Amino acid sequence: MDQSELIAEAINDLRRVFQVIQEYCKKVEHTTGLTSSQLWAIKVLAEGAPMIVSELARRMYLHPATVIGILDRLEVHDLIKRTRSQEDRRVVWVALTLKGNKLVATAPEVAQGLLAMGLEKTPLTELKEIKKGLKRLVSILGAEGTLPHLILSQEVSLPLKRKKGRANKNHTLTKGNPQKAKDIVKNGQ
């Protein structure tokens, strides 16, 4: 393949990605009335709720402040319930309501979730190549300083600041005891 054919294929692949993401997002909004980010949060919660906000943020690859905004909107729709821990008032547990569980059972797939799952299964060397290629595209478009919005959303994904070797204190409250986590949410602790 010569250079012009490679460029055409790269642009066509980008068009495919944008098209598929847009189709997923429209389907989510049409069938659930939620944004794809909101539905993704519900789907992640369905996999392991109750969980603390920081754990949900980690699983969604988002900053906790971004996730709190998503949870605020889900709470208005009575799809999630937040409960502050009695042991440590800084800890907030999140669980799906009955309405949230019903919605997730019939909801379509979410582009962000599929993308995250696929990338998680990608070998590290290939993942580094993907990141390098995407970083180059960001540079070509001059978007290095642009805050990343969630896919087809006005919500901004704040930068993640992860510190190596530092455990999440809140996670240790119920580590190895999922029943305790469920009891905390159930009893409003």
Residue 129's domain is classified under what CATH number? 1.10.10.10
pLDDT tens for each residue of 29-68? 999 999 999 999 999 999 988 999 999 999 999 999 999 9
The whole-chain average pLDDT of the chain stands at: 83
Band of pLDDT at residue 112, cut at 50, 70 and 90: confident
Beta-carbon neighbour count of residue 29 at 10 Å? 15
Number of domains in the chain: 1
pLDDT in the model for residue 93: 94
Peptide bond preceding 50: is omega within 30 degrees of 0, i.e. cis? yes
Global pTM exceeds 0.85: no
Confidence (pLDDT) at 154? 60
135-185 pLDDT, tens digit per residue, is 999 999 999 988 887 776 666 665 555 444 443 333 333 334 444 444 444
Q: CA-based diameter of the chain, in Å?
A: 65
Q: Which helix (DSSP H) or strand (DSSP E) does residue 96 occupy?
A: strand 92-96
Residue 7 scores a pLDDT above 70 = yes
pLDDT at 95: 96
Nearest 5°: the CA angle 5, 146, 128 is 55
Predicted local confidence at residue 155, as pLDDT: 62
**Does pLDDT of 108 surpass 90?**
yes
Q: Which residues form the domain of 33?
A: 3-186
Write down the pLDDT at residue 163: 47
